């Protein structure tokens, strides 16, 4: 059948018409591509306007067009618009092809002759290709209304609560014994200085008691299969050695446990916990976990003090890890961040000079529930510092470590300055490169800290040392810095140094990304679908990213993202089914030789070898449409819809104007 093709060239105001002679392109297409089936070629000021779309719809109906080429902007902008227009006029939307002559021609070239010539080639390629396009139907997939949230920090908590409150079930998986995340370790939150626990713990309790939330702490996702609407997830629920059915959370086991262990996680190494423990008093759930590596019973085979004293016989030394399988429709990843390891900046002396503290250590020092009951003291546990230096951008904005800005460190440094000043009256110095206090009420906080008398030195600290050069420096930490505003080198002796460390992607973010089928940026943060217009979705349908997993951010932004992703998930759940692009590969049973070359190429395990038929087959539900197998099949037995060999070959010929040669 000969196709009847309509070509529509958009002026886009002067965006295209300024660098491309659109009338010439349209006339050329009508004349030179006539033999390919072009029956009409028009140009119009704005094809995407309702009048422009009506023009196409009218031609489809009146001229009986079977294919449409729109030479306009990128398909990522208006492909949907013109496909919908075609659909409205009764033409299959996949018989429309966009030729990008704006992003690929008019905006990137300045010469009109060249722009016009290239546009003709691009249109010619699209015409040749559209002839080979096949009518396709979108694939409808039902959505499982359950949602998995991975990570129980503030972002994950927000997502879980929003979805659960809307009446849908949520599985919240947390690696640590309790939810709460980093926020539960903080004392105060900037810029309002709210007590972190006071605003966080009510949310934690709500999660713990919510009828729509299944909380799985001390658990990790180990496998993810399936696709949007139908994910099958395996979770490893690690043995707690405490029976959750029987435990009342009374805490007697922790009291009686004779084994003290340095708490590297929650107390950042400053405090102790027992071998059986809840990380903090307000933990949710408040069932303790047994630390097998440090428990005397597991090491020596005797003790069992906890078991003896437990009033409800909840201690169970025989408990095993348990694999739980769940089915969910959508997944939200709120896996958070790791703190930059300040030891890596060896010139700042962390780990070598005792009175150099990291930001998280200072959070624990200043926290009333922390190891010093909120007393800001030196490493000896008793001396109050008289002078404190706070160093910003530790590990951030530094080509030796991380190029990016960690966003929170300026405000965190200011918060520390305020707390030190308020509680100890010490002289406080802030060493910064640039002060970044964007967002609501942040700069006002900066002004407040300035007025409180904190001293600011603009310059990147070169070194923190205890090598005194004069009497006044003896027994102090000396901060060597170039004061770039005063234009001179300074040596400032202080009692305590706090490193405002930056944020880093989780050490296992690449593996986690791979498991969930999403990608990471060069730095290791999860990549969003669009940096501006779609910051919580990912390129994988049904997987969302929130909080610091996506990039460094503060609490308000994490909460906003948590809620945003929940809204996106609810939107999908309420639609009950999801439409998928019909870009899939399929195997021709007649020509498949069963060589199995394609089998190992699919990262989504969509291709299976059917032993009985001695051929391979593709599961369309798992196929993501990348086309790698299509390119690999030596028999040409695999075809890919939307991007078939015929379409691409035709487009190559068209772009090179080989199609102008009439037979």
Partner 1 sequence: MDNDHFEPTIIGFTCNWCSYRASDLAGTARMKYAPNVRLIRLMCSGRLDPTFVLRALSAGADGVMITGCHPGECHYIEQNFKALRRYLLLKRVLSGLGIEPERVKLVWASAAEGARFASETTLFVEEVRKLGPLNWGKPAAGLENLQEEISKLEEVPA
* Cβ–Cβ < 8 Å for 499, 396: no
CB of 540 to partner 1, least distance (A): 8
Q: Are strands 461-465 and 638-640 parallel, antiparallel or unpaired?
A: unpaired
* 24 contributes a contact to partner 1 by CB under 8 A: no
The Cα 498–Cα 518 span in angstroms is 36
* H helix intervals, 50-102: 50-63, 75-88
Q: How far apart are CA 324 and CA 489, in angstroms?
A: 60
Site string (628-657) toward partner 1, x via CB under 8 A: x-xxx-------x-xx-x--xx-xxx-xxx
Q: Is the separation of the CB atoms in 495 and 476 below 8 Å? A: yes
Candidates 373, 286, 335; CA nearest to 181 is 335
User: Smaller CB distance to partner 1: residue 214 or 586?
Assistant: 586
Measured from the CB atom, the residue of 75 and 208 that comes closer to partner 1 is 75
Among 115, 191, 395, 551, binds partner 1 (CB under 8 A): 115
Collapsed DSSP state (helix, strand, coil) of residue 654: helix
Chain-centroid distance, C-alpha 421? 37
Map residues 567-606 to x or -, x wherever contact with partner 1 holds by CB under 8 A: ----------------x-----------------x-xx--
User: Counting contacts by CB under 8 A, is residue 345 touching partner 1?
Assistant: no
- Find out whether 154 and 284 touch, Cβ atoms under 8 Å: no
Inter-residue contact 598 to 639 (CB < 8 Å): no
Q: Which is nearer to partner 1, 81 or 100 (CB)?
A: 100
Q: Which is closer to partner 1, CB of 136 or CB of 303?
A: 136
Q: How many angstroms separate the CA atoms of 6 and 42, rounded?
A: 8
Q: Are 602 and 620 in contact (CB under 8 A)?
A: no
Closer of 76 and 614 to partner 1 (Cβ): 76
Binder among 92, 104, 212, 480 for partner 1 (CB under 8 A): 104
Give the total of residues touching partner 1 (CB under 8 A). Answer: 54
- Mark the segment that binds partner 1 (CB under 8 A) among 96-104, 348-356, 394-402, 541-549: 96-104
Site for partner 1 in 531-570 (CB under 8 A): 531, 539
Q: Do the Cβ atoms of 431 and 391 come closer than 8 Å?
A: yes
| Conformational region of residue 551, where left means phi above 0, alpha means psi within -120 to 50, and beta covers everything else | left
In whole angstroms, what is the distance from residue 643 CA to residue 84 CA? 20
Helices (H), 461-531: 509-516
Q: How far is the CB of 656 from partner 1 (least distance, A)?
A: 4
> Which CB atom, from 320 or from 591, has the smaller least distance to partner 1?
591
Helices (runs of H) and strands (runs of E) counted in the chain:
16, 34
Q: Which is nearer to partner 1, 375 or 628 (CB)?
A: 628
Q: Are 144 and 151 in contact (CB under 8 A)?
A: no
State the nearest-atom distance from the C-beta of 520 to partner 1, in Å: 7
The length of the chain in residues reads 663
Find the helix or strand (DSSP H, E) in which 225 lies: strand 219-227
Shortest Cβ 22–partner 1 spacing (Å) = 17
Q: Which is nearer to partner 1, 75 or 249 (CB)?
A: 75
Name which position in 52, 125, 191, 535 contacts partner 1 (CB under 8 A).
125
Q: Angle at CA 532, nearest 5°, toward 527 and 538?
A: 30
Task: Work out whether 93 is an interface residue with partner 1 (CB under 8 A).
Answer: no
Interface with partner 1 in residues 463-492 (CB under 8 A): none
Of 25-33, 69-77, 241-249, 365-373, the segment contacting partner 1 by CB under 8 A is 69-77
| Closest CB 28 distance from partner 1, rounded Å | 16
CB of 121 to partner 1, least distance (A): 5
CB of 168 to partner 1, least distance (A): 29
Whether residue 191 is preceded by a cis peptide bond, meaning omega within 30 degrees of 0, is: yes
Contact pick of 107, 168, 186, 357 for partner 1 (by CB under 8 A):
107
The nearest distance, CB 398 to partner 1, in angstroms, is 21
Closer residue to partner 1 in complex, CB, 28/348: 28
Check: CB of residue 616 under 8 Å from CB of residue 594.
yes
Comparing CB distances to partner 1, the nearer of 125 and 152 is: 125
Torsion-angle region of 455 (φ positive above 0: left; ψ -120 to 50: alpha; else: beta) = beta
Alpha helices, H only, 219-314:
252-256, 296-300, 305-309
Q: Quick one: which of 23, 51, 63, 108 contacts partner 1 (CB under 8 A)?
A: 108
Q: Report the residue number, 321 or 511, with the smaller CB distance to partner 1.
A: 511
For the bound state, the minimum distance from the C-beta of residue 107 to partner 1, rounded and expressed in Å, comes to 4
Q: Least separation, in Å, of the C-beta of 93 and partner 1?
A: 17
Strand-pair category, 356-358 with 5-10 = unpaired
Lay out the site mask for partner 1 across 144-183 (x = CB under 8 A, - = otherwise): ----------------------------------------
Among 3, 27, 74, 374, binds partner 1 (CB under 8 A): 74
Are residues 14 and 99 in contact, defined by beta-carbon separation less than 8 angstroms?
no
Closer to partner 1 by CB, 75 or 594: give it: 75
Restricting to residues 401-460, name those near partner 1 by CB under 8 A. Answer: none
Options 18, 27, 46, 75; binder of partner 1; rule CB under 8 A:
75
> What span, in angstroms and rounded, lies between the C-alpha atoms of 285 and 474?
49
Q: Find the binder of partner 1 among 2, 14, 49, 110 (CB under 8 A).
A: 110
**Which residues contact residue 267 at a Cβ distance below 8 angstroms, ignoring those fewer than 6 apart?**
273, 364, 370, 371
Question: DSSP letters along 289-325, please?
Answer: EE-TTT-HHHHHS---HHHHH-TT--B-TT---EEEE
Under the binding rule (CB under 8 A), the answer on residue 627 touching partner 1 is: yes
- The nearest distance, CB 363 to partner 1, in angstroms, is 33
Kindly report the number of other CB atoms within 10 A of residue 8's CB atom: 26
- Nearest-approach distance from CB 160 to partner 1, in angstroms: 27
Closest to partner 1 by CB, 467 or 522: 522
Residue 440: strand, helix, or coil: coil
Which residues contact partner 1 by CB under 8 A? 74-76, 100, 102-105, 107-111, 114-115, 118, 121-122, 125, 510, 514, 517, 519-522, 527, 531, 539, 583, 601, 603-604, 624-628, 630-632, 640, 642-643, 645, 648-649, 651-653, 655-658
């Amino acid at each position: 059948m000969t196709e009847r093709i309509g070509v529509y060239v958009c002026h886009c105001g002067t965006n295209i018409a300024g660098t491309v002679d659109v009338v010439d392109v349209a006339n050329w297409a009508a004349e030179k591509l006539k033999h390919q089936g072009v029956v009409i070629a028009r140009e119009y000021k704005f094809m995407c306007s309702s009048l422009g779309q009506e023009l196409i719809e009218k031609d489809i109906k009146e001229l009986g067009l079977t294919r449409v080429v729109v030479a306009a902007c990128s398909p990522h902008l208006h492909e949907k618009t013109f496909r919908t227009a075609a659909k409205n006029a009764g033409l299959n939307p996949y018989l429309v092809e966009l030729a990008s002559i704006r992003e690929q021609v008019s905006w990137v070239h300045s010469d009109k002759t060249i722009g016009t010539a290239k546009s003709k080639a691009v249109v010619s390629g699209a015409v040749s290709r559209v002839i080979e396009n096949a009518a396709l139907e979108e694939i409808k997939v039902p959505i499982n209304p359950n949602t998995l949230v991975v990570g129980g920090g503030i972002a994950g908590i927000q997502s879980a609560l929003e979805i659960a409150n809307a009446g849908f079930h949520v599985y919240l998986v947390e690696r640590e014994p309790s939810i709460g995340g980093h926020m539960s370790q903080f004392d105060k939150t900037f810029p309002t200085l709210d007590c972190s626990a006071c605003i966080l713990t009510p949310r934690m309790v709500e999660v713990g008691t919510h009828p729509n939330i299944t909380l799985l702490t001390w658990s990790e996702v180990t496998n993810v299969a399936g696709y949007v609407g139908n994910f099958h997830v395996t979770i490893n629920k690690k043995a707690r050695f405490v029976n959750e059915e029987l435990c009342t959370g009374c805490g007697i086991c922790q009291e009686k446990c004779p084994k003290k262990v340095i708490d590297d996680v929650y107390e950042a190494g400053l405090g102790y916990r027992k071998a059986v423990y809840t990380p903090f008093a307000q933990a949710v759930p408040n069932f303790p976990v047994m630390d097998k590596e440090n428990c005397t019973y597991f090491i020596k085979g005797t003790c069992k003090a906890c078991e003896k004293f437990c009033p409800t016989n909840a201690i169970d030394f025989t408990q095993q890890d348990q694999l739980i399988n769940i089915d969910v429709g959508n997944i939200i990843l709120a896996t958070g961040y790791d703190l930059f390891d300040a030891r890596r900046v060896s010139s700042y002396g962390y780990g070598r000079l005792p009175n150099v503290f990291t930001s998280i250590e200072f959070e624990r020092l200043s926290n009333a529930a922390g190891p010093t009951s909120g007393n800001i003291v030196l490493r000896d546990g008793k001396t109050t510092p008289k002078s404190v230096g706070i160093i910003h951008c530790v590990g951030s904005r530094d080509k030796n470590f991380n190029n990016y800005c960690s966003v929170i460190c300026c405000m965190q440094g200011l918060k520390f300055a305020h707390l030190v000043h308020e509680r100890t009256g010490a002289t406080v110095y802030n060493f910064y490169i640039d002060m970044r206090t964007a967002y609501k009420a942040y700069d006002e906080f900066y002004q407040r800290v300035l007025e409180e008398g904190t001293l600011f030195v603009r310059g990147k600290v070169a070194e923190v040392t205890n090598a005194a050069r004069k009497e006044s420096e003896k027994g102090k930490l000396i901060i060597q810095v170039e004061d770039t505003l005063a234009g001179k080198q300074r040596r400032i002796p202080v009692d305590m140094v706090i490193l405002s460390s930056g944020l880093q992607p989780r050490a296992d973010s690449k593996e986690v990304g791979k498991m969930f089928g999403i990608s990471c940026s060069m730095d290791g943060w999860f990549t969003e679908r669009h940096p501006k217009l779609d910051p919580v979705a990912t390129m994988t349908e049904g997987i969302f990213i929130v909080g610091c997993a996506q990039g460094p951010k503060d609490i308000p932004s994490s909460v906003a993202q948590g809620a945003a992703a929940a809204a996106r998930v609810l939107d999908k759940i309420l639609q009950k089914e999801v439409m998928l692009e019909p870009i899939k590969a399929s195997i021709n049973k007649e020509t498949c030789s069963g060589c199995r070359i394609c089998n190992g190429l699919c990262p989504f395990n969509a291709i299976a070898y059917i032993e009985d038929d001695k051929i391979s087959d593709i599961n369309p539900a798992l196929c993501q449409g990348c086309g790698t197998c299509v390119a690999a099949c030596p028999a040409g037995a695999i075809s890919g819809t939307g991007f078939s060999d015929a379409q691409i070959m035709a487009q190559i010929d068209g772009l090179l104007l080989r199609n102008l040669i009439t037979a």
